[in-house]
């Protein structure tokens, strides 16, 4: 069988395994027979006779080299021990198999390795002897693969030899890009040989076994910008981010290898390559794990090699080689002889006294001259900045910004003149920092995610339907508030299953725990316990291992801890500093007012401020806000639009308004309004009389109103001792209303069938996914799930005839609008094509409207006979939804759209930064 024929068998075999035997129908009969034979015997390609015929085997010849035995196999091919019949020496031959020879990328890497080795001639690099067809003939290195832990002196000796090999390569303009223990061998004589230059670059450019020391080499089109190359556990942060690299990438990998030689432990690991990359980008490096005998200069060398900022990293591996040549020079220096000691020690003592005197003067001067430094950080032109977080090291701030209606995270280095967006963070909110300031956690699309500050892939950690703040400790644990109405949860910073840490005390009036903040010990954390009565909101302290918690302060605000010992929180719009002992979690004395007019989101009861470990305070200035819409905090006006987007009228007074619903007879509108204390209540508007009247007077917030089909009742969501549940209240009635089903919580209604038999609700499941539920209004009225999956299904809306239910789902990793049969889910049709949410049916059931990712109103013609049919979505007009990012709207009988439209231009106030803020405290 020829190599070409073999490739045909291989390709067809894989296609049949992936797509089924139907793909064999049009294949060549002989070829089909070969593949069918393999499939029938449940074999593999290795079982095919051609496999052995096409591989080098003992006794086979490649030119004048005779194969002796197979040494190993990797991603670039097989390596064989062979005998050079001309010179009588043993060699190693790396062979590119036939089935890979047709891969241009693999072939290019193979050829590149040969050229790189030909350019190098160094005792610590395996030499090349020649090239045959698809084969590189190399020096046979006898010995063991590098592994630790080793005695410190031995580890440093081997590391020095690796450094010499890399220095020789770098001097030739060659970057290895895949340095790891599996690519280094040590001969019985103690000589180190660096192998495998298959990923090497001649100029700086930018899943196998479970053992990361032999982890898969990742390559994605090696000649393209943004390629990710290397072995996950050993690649540099810039490699992991897919950015261009230079020789400093080898310096990082060298540091990782040296760490492993000294400790015997992998510095970065994870369950998958993705988790490993995440840790490379952001996991804290604990240098205390180095053996006690590690010389101080080597500790310093490792810190420089393992600096994630390539600009501060050791620039030349030759410096490492110099350090390792005499690492104990300072520690093992010969003591002075008695003849010299008489004059040496007085001299040293005199120098020390002089240094102390100079230091004392400098200290007194520095103390006297300590000043508060204030600066303003302007958002990008035409962008709005909100929800600011300063990095623990005080060097950067991240904020949520909105530019032309698009939210994303922006990074501003405090020593820079401009901010830059973080690609991949569209619609992100509530950012928080990793303890090493190298990564940022945030919430988006119903998930908790993270991204490296340097950029790169966004990693999803777990579900978080509507996150409200997070905090990340030095041990790789994140605590966060996953959704409205829940306690605080914890999850590993590498991702995984989230588990609850605190429980909401609904019986005491609590309705949510939010905005956690780790204290310095990384075990205890602060959080805000929201109450139905905002005057009873408290700042509490809890720990990771128990559900016990204790009140620290009464305040309707998030809280942060600032060294050397202050609790920061808001009272109104004033930022307060309360003396606080973090070790005992006790406040002391009275709080001090430090900044006025700090922006406060009264809907979420969250102040827009943040503080670093070293005294850098950042905050957004401005008046009190209600909700957050990507930086926009203007009021909303319920506005009527026709199909072209022309304004035809308004409803009521502007304010923090959302969730409008038109009565069945079209005479009234119900909506919720948030007051300045963050309290939400439901209001009615009479269109004929043009008057507003309050509908709910609960002590708890009420929202999400839906009309009954006859207009006599309104269903809505409100807090209850067991959580947010669906209430039913007659129009004009008094009291708090009737609970539909207390077992569904937290829940909110989204629709009511025209025949009055079913209320559609949105319920949060224990995994914090949103599900569509049905609440029958007949029989035992026991609610049941209609859609329940490991993703979010929400905003259910019934067609006028009650046969179809439209809803939003993120099962494809973005929100799309779908339709299924009702009351039992059956056939399923996707209506939106490029993202969509908040479906609303026309009153005659012939159209379905929704909002696209650009906040445009879309229309789709539908037909619902025996089978549902949908046309192509068409854009009607752009919107300016306001208040909390809500895109809820309704459509009247005559086809007009009622939308909470933003009526105020958003504020462009700068972010204020105060360096050394404690120096400004008034005692």
Greatest Cα pair distance in the chain:
109
Which one, of 218, 179, 767, lies nearest residue 464 by Cα? 767
Kindly give the interhelix angle for 317-325 and 247-263, rounded to the nearest 10 degrees. Answer: 30
Could you tell me if 51 and 73 are in contact, meaning their C-beta atoms sit under 8 angstroms apart? no
In DSSP terms, 684 is beta-bridged to 670, 693
Q: How many CB atoms lie within 10 A of CB 351?
A: 10
Bond before 149 cis per omega within 30 degrees:
yes
Backbone angles phi, psi at 38, to 5 degrees: -65, -45
Alpha helices in 295-337 (DSSP H): 296-305, 317-325
Distances (CA, A) of 667 to 26, 188, 640, 802: 65, 92, 14, 23
> Given 178, 196, 537, 601, which residue is catalytic?
178
The helix/strand/coil state of 874 is strand
CA 435 to chain centre: 15
* Strands in 357-422 per DSSP E: 373-377, 383-390, 396-403, 406-413, 419-421
Could you tell me if 144 and 150 are in contact, meaning their C-beta atoms sit under 8 angstroms apart? no
Show contacts of 741-746: CB within 8 Å, 24+ apart: 741/775, 741/781, 741/782, 741/783, 743/783, 744/773, 744/775, 744/783, 745/485, 745/720, 746/483, 746/484, 746/485, 746/486, 746/717
In sequence order, what are the residues at sequence separation of 6 or more whose Cβ sits closer than 8 angstroms to the Cβ of residue 719?
506, 511, 532, 698, 700, 701
Q: How many CB atoms lie within 10 A of CB 114?
A: 19
494-498-499 Cα angle (round to 5):
135
Tell whether the torsion through CA atoms of 264, 267, 270 and 276 is positive or negative.
negative
Distances (CA, A) of 723 to 211, 487, 531: 47, 11, 11
CA 641 to chain centre: 38
What distance in Å separates the CA atoms of residue 130 and residue 110, rounded to the nearest whole number? Answer: 13
Say whether 178 is catalytic. yes
Could you tell me if 284 and 476 are in contact, meaning their C-beta atoms sit under 8 angstroms apart? yes
What distance in Å separates the CA atoms of residue 18 and residue 9, rounded to the nearest whole number? Answer: 14
Could you tell me if 78 and 95 are in contact, meaning their C-beta atoms sit under 8 angstroms apart? yes
CA 3 to chain centre: 45
In sequence order, what are the residues at sequence separation of 6 or more whose Cβ sits closer than 8 angstroms to the Cβ of residue 436?
282, 284, 285, 308, 392, 393
Alpha helices in 385-466 (DSSP H): none
Which one, of 117, 97, 105, lies nearest residue 10 by Cα? 97
Q: How far apart are the first and last CA of the chain?
A: 89
Positions marked active-site: 178
């Amino acid at each position: 069988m020829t190599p070409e024929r073999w490739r045909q068998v291989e390709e067809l075999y894989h296609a049949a395994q992936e797509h089924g035997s139907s793909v064999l129908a049009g294949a060549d009969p002989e070829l089909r027979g070969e593949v069918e034979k393999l499939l029938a015997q449940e074999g593999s390609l290795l079982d095919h006779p051609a496999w052995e015929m096409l591989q080098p085997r003992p006794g086979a010849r490649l030119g004048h080299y005779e194969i002796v035995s197979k040494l190993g196999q990797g991603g670039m091919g097989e390596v064989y021990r062979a005998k050079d019949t001309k010179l009588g020496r043993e060699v190693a031959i790396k062979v590119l198999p036939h089935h890979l020879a047709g891969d241009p990328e693999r072939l290019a890497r193979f050829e590149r390795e040969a050229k790189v080795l030909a350019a190098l001639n160094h005792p610590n690099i395996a030499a090349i002897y020649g090239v045959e067809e698809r084969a590189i003939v190399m020096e046979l290195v006898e010995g063991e693969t590098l592994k630790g832990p080793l005695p410190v002196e031995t580890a440093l000796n081997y590391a020095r030899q690796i450094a010499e090999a890399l220095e020789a390569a770098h001097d030739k303009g060659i970057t290895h890009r895949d340095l790891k223990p599996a690519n280094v061998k040590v001969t019985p004589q103690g000589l180190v040989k660096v192998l495998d230059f298959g990923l090497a670059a001649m100029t700086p450019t930018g899943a196998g076994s479970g053992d990361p020391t032999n982890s898969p080499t990742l390559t994605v089109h090696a000649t393209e910008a943004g390629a990710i190359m290397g072995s996950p556990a050993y690649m540099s942060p810039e490699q992991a981010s897919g950015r261009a690299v230079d020789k400093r990438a080898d310096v990082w990998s060298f540091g990782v290898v040296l760490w492993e030689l000294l400790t015997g432990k992998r510095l970065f690991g994870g369950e998958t390559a993705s988790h490993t990359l995440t840790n490379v980008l952001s996991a804290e490096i604990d240098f205390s794990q180095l053996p006690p005998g590690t010389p101080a200069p080597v500790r310093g060398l490792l810190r420089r090699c393992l600096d994630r900022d390539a600009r501060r990293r050791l620039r030349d591996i030759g410096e490492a080689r110099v350090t390792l040549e005499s690492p104990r020079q300072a520690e093992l220096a010969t003591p002075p002889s008695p003849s010299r000691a008489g004059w040496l020690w007085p001299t040293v003592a005199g120098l020390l006294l002089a240094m102390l005197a100079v230091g004392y003067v400098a200290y007194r001067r520095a103390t006297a001259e300590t000043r508060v430094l204030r600066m303003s950080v302007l958002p990008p032109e035409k962008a709005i900045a909100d929800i600011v977080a300063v990095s623990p090291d005080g060097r950067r701030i991240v904020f949520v910004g909105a530019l032309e209606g698009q939210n994303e995270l922006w990074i501003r280095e405090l020593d820079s003149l401009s901010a830059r967006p973080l690609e991949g963070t569209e619609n992100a909110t509530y950012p928080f920092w990793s303890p090493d300031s190298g990564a940022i956690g945030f919430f988006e699309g119903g998930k908790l995610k993270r991204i490296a500050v340097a950029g790169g892939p966004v990693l999803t950690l777990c579900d978080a339907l509507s996150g409200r703040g997070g905090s990340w400790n030095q041990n790789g644990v994140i605590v966060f508030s996953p959704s409205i109405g829940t306690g605080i949860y914890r999850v590993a910073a590498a991702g995984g299953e989230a588990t609850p840490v605190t429980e909401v005390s609904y019986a005491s009036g609590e309705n949510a725990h939010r905005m956690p903040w780790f204290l310095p010990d990384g075990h205890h954390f602060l959080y805000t316990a929201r109450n139905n009565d905002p005057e009873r909101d408290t700042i509490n302290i809890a720990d990771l291992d128990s559900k016990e918690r204790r009140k620290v302060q009464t305040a309707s605000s998030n809280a942060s801890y600032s060294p050397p010992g202050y609790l920061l929180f808001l009272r109104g719009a004033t930022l307060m500093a309360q003396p606080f002992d973090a070790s005992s979690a006790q406040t002391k004395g009275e709080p001090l007012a430090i900044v006025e007019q700090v922006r406060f989101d009264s809907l979420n009861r969250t102040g827009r401020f943040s503080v670093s470990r070293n005294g850098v305070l950042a905050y957004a200035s401005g008046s009190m806000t209600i909700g957050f819409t990507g930086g926009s905090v203007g009021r909303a006006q319920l506005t009527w639009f026709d199909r072209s987007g022309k304004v035809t009228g308004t409803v009521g007074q502007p304010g923090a308004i959302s969730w409008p619903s038109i009565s069945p007879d079209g005479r009234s509108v119900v909506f919720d309004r948030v007051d300045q204390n963050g309290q939400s209540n439901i209001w009615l508007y009479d269109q004929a009389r043009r008057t507003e009247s309050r509908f709910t007077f609960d002590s708890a917030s009420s929202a999400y109103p839906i009309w009954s089909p006859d207009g006599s009742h309104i269903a809505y969501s409100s807090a209850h001792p067991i959580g947010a549940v669906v209430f039913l209240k007659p129009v004009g009635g008094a009291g708090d209303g009737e609970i539909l089903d207390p077992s569904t919580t937290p829940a909110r209604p989204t629709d009511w069938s025209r025949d009055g038999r079913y209320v559609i609700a949105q319920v949060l499941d224990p995994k914090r996914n949103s599900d569509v539920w049905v609440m029958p209004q007949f029989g035992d009225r026991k609610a049941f799930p209609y859609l329940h999956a490991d993703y979010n299904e929400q905003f259910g809306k019934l067609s006028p005839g009650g046969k179809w239910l439209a809803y939003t789902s993120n099962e494809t990793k973005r929100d799309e609008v779908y339709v299924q049969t009702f009351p039992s889910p059956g056939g399923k049709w996707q209506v939106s094509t490029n993202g969509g949410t908040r479906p609303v049916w026309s009153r005659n059931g012939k159209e379905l409207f929704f909002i696209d990712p650009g906040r445009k109103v879309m229309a789709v013609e539908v037909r619902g006979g025996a089978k549902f049919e949908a046309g192509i979505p068409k854009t009607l007009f752009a919107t300016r939804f306001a208040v909390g990012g809500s895109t809820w709207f309704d459509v009247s009988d005559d086809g007009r759209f009622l939308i909470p439209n933003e009526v105020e231009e958003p504020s462009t106030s700068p972010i204020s930064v105060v360096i050394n803020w404690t120096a400004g405290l008034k005692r």
